[in-house]
């Protein structure tokens, strides 16, 4: 399995291009293959994908003829550490922390790929117990399909593009499909009909990545609940009604989630954080 790493988007001018078109550079691991594709379709810009050779093959399989699409460029390379240029992306070890307090990145136990329950037209979380995931090994499943050395069947779950209106029953569902629900690191509930962020997500303090885009949340301050997750670093909320109705949508969401370093697939820089703090202070810190 390709090394799981965050998806980072940056814009830069293409050398020699007089029209000044931009190209999105995306670094990603196995868990973000579908979201690199989503970004490619959503932005309508050129996309250069830098990833391991295996991930390149997997990404190619998602498209009918990727080499014939002029906006897409696939480039295989070895996985390398994230860039630590703080002027562009906050370093995982220094962002939003007291510099005197050392911070070690949480160690994710070896596990299988995320359980994939996308595109099943399921209306309740309990309904996922009646279907088989497209990918991944459920608790008490065939562990011979897990990668060598895996201690857990999965640390991530995809419930995207269904018809969920609530996350009620999530705790029971995770208890039945994950070896250790307490090790849940990544949850994708994008593309559903959720209108609010439920506090039951706080029962999983190791969540570091939550995708909530494409739902029906109407108020930006609804995401404030997730600000209590101590390890949350990546979050998406675009495509909710609040993105259009709140002119300060990005500032409002980022202010509610002070530890998040990537919002809607775009990094939050130190300068961004300073601006967000000043904006929040001017309005009295009310969310």
The enclosing H or E element of 74 equals strand 72-76
The SS3 of residue 8 is strand
Give the residue extent of every domain in the chain: 1-79
pLDDT tens digit at each of 287 positions of the chain: 333 333 333 333 333 333 333 444 444 444 455 555 555 555 554 555 555 555 555 555 555 444 444 445 555 443 333 332 222 222 333 333 433 334 455 678 899 999 999 999 999 999 999 999 999 999 999 999 999 999 999 999 999 999 999 999 999 999 999 999 999 999 999 999 999 999 999 999 999 999 999 999 999 999 999 999 999 999 999 999 999 999 999 999 999 999 999 999 999 999 999 999 999 998 876 54
> Hunting for tokens 């990546």 — which residue is that?
234
pTM of the model: 0.68
Q: Note whether 75 and 53 are within 8 A (CB).
A: no
Degrees, nearest 5: CA angle 97-98-100: 135
């Amino acid at each position: 399995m390709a090394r799981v790493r965050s998806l980072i988007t940056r814009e830069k001018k293409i050398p020699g291009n007089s029209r000044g078109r931009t190209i999105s550079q995306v670094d990603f691991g196995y868990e973000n293959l579908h979201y690199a594709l989503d970004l490619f379709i959503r932005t309508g810009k050129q996309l250069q994908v830098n990833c391991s050779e295996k991930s390149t093959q997997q990404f190619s399989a998602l498209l009918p003829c990727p080499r014939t699409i002029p906006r897409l460029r696939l480039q295989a390379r070895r996985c390398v550490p994230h860039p630590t240029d703080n002027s562009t992306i906050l370093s995982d070890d220094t962002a939003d922390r007291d510099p005197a307090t050392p911070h070690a990145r949480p160690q994710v136990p070896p596990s299988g790929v995320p359980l994939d329950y996308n595109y099943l037209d399921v209306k309740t979380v309990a309904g996922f117990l009646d279907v088989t995931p497209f990918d991944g090994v459920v608790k008490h499943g065939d562990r011979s399909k897990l990668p060598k050395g895996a201690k857990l069947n999965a640390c991530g779950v995809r419930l995207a593009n269904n018809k969920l209106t609530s996350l009620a029953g999530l705790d029971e569902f995770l208890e039945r499909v994950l070896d250790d629900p307490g090790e849940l690191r990544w949850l994708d509930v994008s593309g559903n009909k959720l209108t609010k962020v439920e506090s039951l997500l706080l029962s999983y303090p190791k969540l570091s990545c939550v995708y909530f885009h494409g739902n029906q949340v109407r108020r930006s301050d609804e995401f404030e609940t997730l600000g209590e997750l101590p390890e949350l670093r990546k979050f998406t909320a675009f495509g909710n009604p609040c993105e259009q109705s709140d002119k300060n949508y990005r500032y409002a969401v980022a202010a509610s989630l002070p530890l998040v370093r990537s919002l809607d697939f775009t990094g939050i820089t130190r300068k961004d954080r300073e601006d967000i703090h000043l904006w929040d202070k001017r309005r009295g810190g009310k969310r």
